[in-house]
């Protein structure tokens, strides 16, 4: 427990000390909210789909969470390069606990990043549909964060340097985001796209978050929750396996 | 006296390359033992296997009565390690780095603060406990790592080229800390170096390793007598020859070479 706790705290300390990272990570969501939110707003309204900014916000929140989460998971690479990883690997504690502590830390930090984006969206006119929204949304944000931090850890354990990060952004994070129904309603999308989206884990994250925040969605809360939970469990197992195989 | 470390027929192969080739040695409790060898001799690979970072190919490693094959955590608790390159978290303070270590090794939380204070005072860093490690010089980082390595009261302290790249003042300081710990607490010390005068001055016994094999071992005086040399440097050169060695390659580099060789 001590191991998990101290490595969790470590991630949090590193996060709130890097102000540039917190602020830097807000640029992209801000741009999406302003340009897409206000740009497509009128068209969306005319098509009879309602308020686009409200529809978009959960998607943008999910996006900022997965960016932060995958990056946090992949921070293992920094630890490898700066040597701190060795310090944890020679300690008399199980590697699973080390991996779990840092993954939970990364997930917590990414959830915080999501909360900041939600608060930011309030400025642009986003409103929760009820007070229950808040705790429920945090649960979903945390699940998305946990899943993607675990994936980041699995990837980071297998890589030696950050050269591949751009590859992962362009061929992994971006497709997951754009195919998840984060920026358009899946209900009116072509069947092919809907089928693809059904295999995108983030679809369930965005859907759950949207149900929690504005009570709009295509699956049920329980389905979204279940899918995310199972996938998180699988990703954690893969991450733990991948982490246990590290040799220096 | 009983041996606290015993290594028998240890082998590490990367493909066909034998980085460590059937070495055996033992260290009695309380001794300072040095591994002396040119670059790429297999010093770091041996230390990595002994500190559980790298799996051995074959052989036996026993530390403080524990066999490495029968559970690594028992051995890990007994070891204090200062690696060749820094292994601190730069974004945290000196105190926080110590605290993480204490928690990882399950140091009693009631005495934790005093212990950290005592050790940071010992390496003269207590007044900088709140400073981020990224602001520290190489020598300060190394001192912090020594303090950290000793936090859980290990039985054997491993130092992998602990003074490389440091100025003479810092080197002197570091060895005086280590000698003090050795004399006052009977700490067993295992270190690698390629500074011959350090091995000569500090170590009780020296093993000279080259091409993955121990080619001679004994007290510095024994080694000089064995090679009819006037000092340890001559003895070292007599044993390992005058050829300049390539930079030491890491285990990763060895694996890359192995992969490339297989592709051809």
Q: For B121-132, what is each residue's pLDDT tens digit?
A: 988 899 999 999
For residue A1, the model assigns a pLDDT of 82
The average confidence (pLDDT) of chain B is: 87
Please indicate whether, in this complex, the C-beta atoms of A247 and B55 are within 8 angstroms of each other: yes
Q: Residue B163: what pLDDT?
A: 83
Q: Which of B51, B76, B92 sits opposite A13 (nearest CB)?
A: B92
CA distance A82 to chain B (A): 6
* Contact status of B105 with chain A (Cβ, < 8 Å): yes
Rounded to whole angstroms, the Cα distance separating A7 from B104 reads 9
B89 touches chain A (CB under 8 A): yes
Position B257 scores a pLDDT of 60
| Each residue's pLDDT tens digit, B115-172 | 999 999 988 899 999 999 999 998 899 899 989 998 998 999 999 888 887 888 888 8
> Given a cut of 80, is residue B260 above it in pLDDT?
no
A contact set with B (CB within 8 A): 2-3, 5-7, 10, 13-14, 17-18, 79, 82-93, 160, 247-248
A:B CB pairs within 8 Å: 78
CA–CA min distance B96, chain A (Å):
9
Q: Are strands B188-193 and B156-160 parallel, antiparallel or unpaired?
A: parallel
Distance from CA of A212 to the nearest CA of B (A): 36
Measured in angstroms, the CA of B205 and the nearest CA of chain A are apart by 26
What are the CA-CA distances from residue A208 to residues A36, A95, B181, B204 (Å)?
21, 32, 58, 67
From chain A, the residues in CB contact with B104 under 8 A are 2-3, 6, 87-88, 91-93
Contact list, A160 vs chain B (CB under 8 Å): 252
* pLDDT, position B2: 81
Q: Report yes or no on whether pTM surpasses 0.90.
A: no
Q: For the beta carbon of residue B213, count every other beta carbon within 10 angstroms.
A: 15
Using 50 as the pLDDT threshold, list the residues of chain A that sit under it. none
Residues with Cβ < 8 Å from B129, sequence gap 6 or more?
B93, B94, B95, B116, B117, B120
Tell me the pLDDT band of B251, cut-offs 50, 70 and 90.
low
Would you state the pLDDT for residue B221?
86
**Percent of chain B scoring above 90 in pLDDT:** 44
Output the pLDDT for position A247: 80
Using the predicted structure, report yes or no on whether residue B81 has a pLDDT greater than 80.
yes
Distance from C-alpha of A74 to C-alpha of A154, rounded to nearest angstrom: 8
Is B53 close to A92, i.e. CB distance below 8 A? Answer: no
A93/B73 touch (CB, cutoff 8 Å), yes or no: yes
| CB-based contact, B77 to chain A, within 8 Å | yes
In this prediction, residues B2-13 reach a mean pLDDT of: 92
CA distances from A144 to A53, A149, A219 (A): 21, 8, 16
Look at residue B116 in the predicted model and tell me its pLDDT: 95
CB contact under 8 A, A90 and B85: no
Higher pLDDT, B189 or B230: B189
In angstroms, the Cα distances linking B137 to A17, B83, B132, B144, B155 are 21, 16, 11, 11, 28
Candidates B90, B117, B91; CA nearest to B102 is B117
CA B84 to chain A, closest CA, distance in angstroms equals 10
Read off the pLDDT of residues A220-235 as tens digits, 9 standing for 90 and up.
999 999 999 999 999 9
Helix axes B232-240, B220-227, angle to 10 degrees: 60
pLDDT of residue B252: 57
Mean local confidence (pLDDT), B187-196:
88
Most B CBs within 10 Å, among A18, A88, A248, to test the B interface: A248
Q: For residues B149 and B151, what is the distance between their CA atoms, to the nearest angstrom? A: 6
- Asked if residue B177 has pLDDT above 90, the reply is no
Position B263 scores a pLDDT of: 54
- Name which of A2, A18, A90 is nearest B52 (Cβ-Cβ): A90
| Contact across the interface for A87 and B52, Cβ inside 8 Å | no
Question: Residue B46 and residue B179: Cα distance in Å, rounded?
Answer: 23
């Amino acid at each position: 427990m001590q191991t998990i706790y101290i490595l969790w705290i470590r991630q949090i300390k590193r996060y709130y000390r890097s102000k540039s990272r917190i602020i830097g990570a807000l640029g992209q969501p801000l741009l999406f909210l302003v340009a897409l939110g206000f740009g497509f707003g009128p068209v969306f309204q005319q098509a009879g789909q309602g308020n686009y900014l409200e529809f978009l916000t959960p998607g943008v929140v999910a996006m900022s969470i997965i960016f932060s989460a995958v990056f946090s998971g992949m921070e293992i690479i920094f630890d490898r390069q700066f040597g701190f990883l060795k310090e944890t690997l020679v300690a008399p504690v199980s590697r699973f606990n080390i991996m779990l502590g840092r993954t939970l830390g990364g997930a917590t930090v990414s959830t915080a990043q999501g909360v900041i984006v939600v608060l930011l969206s309030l400025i642009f006119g986003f409103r929760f549909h009820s007070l229950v929204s808040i705790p429920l949304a945090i649960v979903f944000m945390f699940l998305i964060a946990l899943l993607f931090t675990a994936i980041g850890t699995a990837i980071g354990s297998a890589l030696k340097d950050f050269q591949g990060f751009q590859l992962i952004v362009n061929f992994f994070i971006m497709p997951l985001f754009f195919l998840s129904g984060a920026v358009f309603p899946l209900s009116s999308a072509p069947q092919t796209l809907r089928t693809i989206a059904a295999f995108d884990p983030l679809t369930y994250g965005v859907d759950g978050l949207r149900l929690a925040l504005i009570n709009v969605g295509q699956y049920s809360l329980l389905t979204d929750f279940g899918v995310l939970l199972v996938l998180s469990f699988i990703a954690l197992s893969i991450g733990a396996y991948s982490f246990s195989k590290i040799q220096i | 006296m009983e041996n606290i470390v015993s290594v028998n027929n240890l082998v590490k192969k990367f493909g066909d390359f034998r980085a460590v080739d059937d070495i055996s040695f033992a260290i009695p409790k309380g001794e300072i033992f040095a591994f002396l060898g040119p670059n790429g001799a297999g010093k770091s690979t041996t230390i990595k296997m002994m500190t559980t970072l790298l799996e051995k190919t074959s052989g036996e490693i026993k530390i403080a009565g524990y066999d490495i094959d029968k559970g690594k955590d028992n051995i890990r608790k007994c070891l204090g390690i200062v690696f060749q390159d820094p292994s601190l978290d730069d974004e945290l303070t000196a105190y926080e780095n110590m605290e993480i270590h204490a928690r990882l090794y399950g140091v009693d939380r009631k005495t934790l603060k005093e212990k950290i204070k005592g050790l940071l005072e010992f390496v003269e860093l207590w007044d900088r406990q709140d400073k981020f490690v990224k602001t520290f010089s190489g020598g300060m980082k190394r001192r912090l790592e020594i303090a950290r390595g000793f936090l859980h009261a290990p039985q054997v302290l491993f130092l992998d080229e602990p003074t490389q790249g440091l100025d003479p003042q810092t080197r002197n300081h570091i060895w005086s800390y280590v000698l003090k710990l050795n004399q006052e607490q009977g700490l067993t010390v295992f270190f690698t170096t390629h500074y011959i005068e350090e091995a000569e001055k500090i170590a009780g016994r020296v093993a000279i390793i080259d091409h993955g094999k121990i080619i001679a071992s004994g007290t510095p005086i024994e080694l000089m007598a064995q090679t009819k040399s006037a000092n340890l440097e001559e003895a070292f050169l007599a044993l390992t020859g005058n050829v300049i060695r390539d930079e030491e390659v890491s285990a990763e580099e060895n694996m890359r070479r192995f992969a490339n060789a297989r592709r051809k």
